[in-house]
Amino acid sequence: MSILPQALFSRRDLLKKSAVGFGNLALLSMLNDETRAASAKDPLSPKEPHFEPRAKRVIFLFMKGGPSHMDTFDYKPQLQKYDGKPLPFDKPRVQFAPTGNLLKSPWKFKQYGESGIHVSELFPNVAECVDDLCIINSLYGTNAAHGGALLKLHTGSDAFVRPSLGSWVTYGLGTENQNLPGFITICPTLAHGGVKNWSSAFLPAPYQGTPLGNAAVAAENAQIEFIKNGFLSRGVQRKQIDFLNDLNRMHQQQTGPNQILEDRIGSFELAFRMQEEVPQIQDISGETEATRKMYGLDEAETADFGRQCLMARRFAERGVRFIQVSHSDQKVQWDQHSDLLAGHGKNAKEVDKPIAALLKDLKQRGLLKDTLVVWGGEFGRTPTAQGKNGRDHNPEGFTMWLAGGGVKGGIKYGATDEFGYYAAKDKMHIHDFHATLLHLLGMNHEKLTYRYAGRDFRLTDVAGHVAHGVLA
């Protein structure tokens, strides 16, 4: 209960005036349109893209360690044929580790769907969705080490601290649910760039990714920091916030009009709501048995990643702009320098079913058409053998795929050479990939800029071409 004159500080006024981190659009939507203008300063309020977007949000399924393209989505019959033979052309000037002769894939490939695209038996479930996939076989990067490659993929730069892709996207588009962060990353790895991979760097703080746990935490226990109050009941906390509001209003009366102090009062209200909303989204008890089964929550191998994928869908439904899901265990998950068979076998098993479930689930809910799903790792692997049965890092040519959000389904875009070492046809540099992603979201990568230290920075630096061939 407040003893201050309510007329000065009605809840409605408060909502109109506050412009804070997680914004307040959900609240404002209850009010009329004129109040939208008042929130124009809110850094996370939705912004108009540069042109009609094909996708409204992104779910990035990041496979840490570098999944092998030749063993998954880049079918190379020649590799099978020339198994054990030397690579008939030069290896790159800089390599991570020396490798030997060509090594065939231990997995069989089959054609799927109407498109008849070859997918390896590592991904039998995702293969069922192949007609929704736009498989890009011609990616290439610049860095052969995990750290550099992760940073390159996530921020466009492997040498300098730059804002992450998700930060650029939320900076460009704002977000739709103002009670939630605009950019959430679920169970990210803290190694190889760690926070830099979801940091806003020089972009304002509200655009940084909000981590939900990290790779060392089970998805079930992943939480946003400080979201839980362990010592006060909600009722008591409500009274505390009312009291706090009074203290803050009394303080504010001494300083004259002050936007920041007003924002601050709003920020406590929003924090209070977030505390309620985030756990609700994470609580999957309301999902049907069929859904749980589809995501593999009832199987030991798939339960953890399945839960991450399911949470991603739940966040997407509620208007979070950019959601990253990381498949990263306590080691460098997909990094099979040796024993490709066992390692990739285990990894694919953990993600195949949940990913297929996510795609189908999004589709049946009508969300896939404006959600861009991205799958891939920081680089691919060499067609040549490392040791007896492993593959080394390969940034020279690798595969990622897109689904939903205005991309052509059931196609393969670009190609590597006949063995899969180098990107060869319709080559797509990481900058091109980023430019294409932004394009799908309705943004011109050359116009999405931020001035820092005297220059206008872009996600794509001074490069990047949109790959029009992937657009639907």
**Looking only at residues 151 through 210 of this chain, which bind another protein when binding is defined by CB under 8 A?**
151, 158-161, 189-196, 199, 201-202, 204-206, 208, 210
The first and second tokens of residue 455, run together, are: 């220059």
Of 28, 55, 138, nearest to 376 by C-alpha is: 138
State which residue, 290 or 455, has the beta carbon closest to another protein. Answer: 455
**DSSP H helical segments within 137-233, as ranges?**
146-155, 165-173
338 binds another protein (CB under 8 A): no
State which residue, 90 or 289, has the beta carbon closest to another protein. Answer: 90
State which residue, 252 or 436, has the beta carbon closest to another protein. Answer: 252
351-390 footprint of another protein as x/- string (CB under 8 A): ----------------------------------------
- Do 129 and 403 contact (CB within 8 A), yes or no? yes
- C-alpha 366/C-alpha 369 separation (Å) is 6
Residue 137, C-beta contacts closer than 8 angstroms, at least 6 positions apart: 69, 73, 74, 397, 399, 412, 413, 414, 415, 416, 423
- The size of the interface with another protein (CB under 8 A), counted in residues, is 99
- C-alpha 462/C-alpha 165 separation (Å) is 16
Burial of 465 (0-12, 13-18, 19+ CB in 10 A): middle
State which residue, 115 or 202, has the beta carbon closest to another protein. Answer: 202
Among 54, 56, 104, 146, binds another protein (CB under 8 A): 146
**DSSP H helical segments within 283-327, as ranges?**
289-294, 300-317
State which residue, 221 or 288, has the beta carbon closest to another protein. Answer: 221
Angle between helices 165-173 and 430-440 (to 10 degrees): 30
State which residue, 284 or 424, has the beta carbon closest to another protein. Answer: 424
State which residue, 255 or 364, has the beta carbon closest to another protein. Answer: 255
- Amino acid found at 51: F
Contacts of another protein in 55-114 (CB under 8 A)? 94-96
Among 285, 288, 330, 364, binds another protein (CB under 8 A): 330
Among 5, 30, 37, 226, binds another protein (CB under 8 A): 226
- C-alpha 59/C-alpha 438 separation (Å) is 13
Q: How far is the CB of 265 from another protein (least distance, A)?
A: 8
State which residue, 140 or 401, has the beta carbon closest to another protein. Answer: 140
- C-alpha 254/C-alpha 243 separation (Å) is 18
State which residue, 130 or 270, has the beta carbon closest to another protein. Answer: 270
**DSSP H helical segments within 3-145, as ranges?**
11-17, 25-28, 34-38, 77-81, 124-127
8 binds another protein (CB under 8 A): no
Of 264, 277, 376, nearest to 320 by C-alpha is: 277
346 binds another protein (CB under 8 A): no
Q: How far is the CB of 290 from another protein (least distance, A)?
A: 33
Hey, is 25 helix, strand or coil? helix
139 binds another protein (CB under 8 A): no
Total residue length of the chain? 472
Q: How far is the CB of 434 from another protein (least distance, A)?
A: 13
- Do 355 and 300 contact (CB within 8 A), yes or no? no
State which residue, 102 or 423, has the beta carbon closest to another protein. Answer: 423
| Gyration radius of the chain's alpha carbons | 24
Contacts of another protein in 227-256 (CB under 8 A)? 227-233, 235-237, 239-241, 243-244, 246-248, 250-252, 254-256
- C-alpha 14/C-alpha 269 separation (Å) is 10
Contacts of another protein in 410-429 (CB under 8 A)? 424-427, 429
> What separation in angstroms does the CA of 122 have from each of 81, 105, 125?
20, 11, 9
Range in contact with another protein (rule: CB under 8 A) among 51-59, 113-121, 142-150, 307-315 = 142-150
Q: How far is the CB of 116 from another protein (least distance, A)?
A: 25
Q: How far is the CB of 438 from another protein (least distance, A)?
A: 18
Contacts of another protein in 258-277 (CB under 8 A)? 258, 260-261, 263-264, 267-268, 270-272, 274-275
State which residue, 87 or 202, has the beta carbon closest to another protein. Answer: 202
449 binds another protein (CB under 8 A): no
Hey, is 75 helix, strand or coil? coil
Among 72, 214, 394, 416, binds another protein (CB under 8 A): 214
State which residue, 132 or 304, has the beta carbon closest to another protein. Answer: 304
Q: How far is the CB of 359 from another protein (least distance, A)?
A: 27
285 binds another protein (CB under 8 A): no
Residue owning tokens 């993929």? 153
CA 446 to chain centre: 21
The first and second tokens of residue 167, run together, are: 């930060």
Range in contact with another protein (rule: CB under 8 A) among 6-14, 82-90, 219-227, 279-287 = 219-227
5 binds another protein (CB under 8 A): no
Burial of 369 (0-12, 13-18, 19+ CB in 10 A): middle
